[in-house]
Chains A and B, each alone.
Chain A
Amino acid sequence: DQQVKQNSPSLSVQEGRISILNCDYTNSMFDYFLWYKKYPAEGPTFLISISSIKDKNEDGRFTVFLNKSAKHLSLHIVPSQPGDSAVYFCAASTSGTYKYIFGTGTRLKVLA
C-alpha cells in the first residue's frame, strides 16, 4: 500500500517554462513534507520542505504548495532550466518520528 504516490513517472518541459510535479498521500497523520532532487549515481539532495501549518513555501525558483484537504502537494519550478533535469522525490513524515515515506519519483527533463 503506497502511502505517498507520484503518479507521473516522467515529465518533459521546455526551458524557461514552469515545471509542476505532483504528489499525493493517503495518511492524514503526515504533517511534514519534503522534496528531493536526485541526479544519476548521486544521493538525493534536499530541495524544499513544508509543514502542515502552511500551505505554501517558497525558495528561489522552487515553490511547494500543500492542499491538506486533498492530501496533495506540488512542486513548482519557475523558470525551468536544463540543470533541473533529474528525478524528483516527495517524502512525508509525522511530527516527532524518524520514519520518512518516499514516493516513487518523477523524472523531469527540461528541454533546451
Chain B
Amino acid sequence: IAGITQAPTSQILAAGRRMTLRCTQDMRHNAMYWYRQDLGLGLRLIHYSNTAGTTGKGEVPDGYSVSRANTDDFPLTLASAVPSQTSVYFCASSWGANQPQHFGDGTRLSIL
C-alpha cells in the first residue's frame, strides 16, 4: 500500500543522546514535512523540504536537523535530546505547496 512509513513507532531515550527518526514515502511526492504534536498545541511544523536537496525551517526548528538526499527519504535528527522534545512526531508528504498532505502514523518519543 502506497504511503509513508515512519520508524521507530516509539522510543524511550535518555537525555543527551542522539536520535534519528526515519521517514520514507513511496508516492514520489516532491515535498516532505516533519511535525510534532503536543497536547493543547496541535501540530507544529519543525522542518520541511520542497524538493530533494533543499530544506527549510518551520515554526519550531531549534534542536532538530533534517536532510533530503533523495525524493523518498526525509530523516529527522535530534543531535542531543532534551526532555522538552518528548512528543509525537509525524512525517508527511505532498505533491507541492498548497496541496493536501499525506501523513505517517507517527513516532512516539519520550526523553527521560
Contacts and interface: CB of A to CB of B under 8 A. Distances in A.
Interface of A: 4, 6, 32, 34, 36, 41-46, 49, 51, 89, 91, 93, 95-105
Contacts of B105: 41-43
A8 to B, nearest CB: 13
Contacts, number: 62
A101 B97 contact: no
Contacts of B4: 43
A7 B78 CA distance: 32
Contact of A102 (B44, B97, B98): B44
B53 interface: no
Given A43-B4, A89-B43, A104-B41, A98 B97 contact: yes
Interface string B93-104: 000011011111
A51 B99 CA distance: 11
Interface residues of B, number: 26
Interface in B28-63: 31, 33, 35, 40-45, 48, 50, 56, 58-59
A104 B50 contact: no
Interface of B: 4, 31, 33, 35, 40-45, 48, 50, 56, 58-59, 90, 92, 97-98, 100-106
Contacts of B44: 102
Among A32, A43, A45, A46, find the residue whose CB has the most chain B CB atoms closer than 10 A.
A43
Nearest to A48: B100
Given A43-B92, A44-B101, 11 more contacts: A41-B105, A43-B4, A43-B103, A43-B104, A93-B98, A96-B97, A96-B98, A98-B31, A98-B33, A100-B33, A104-B41
A102 B43 contact: yes
B83 to A, nearest CB: 22
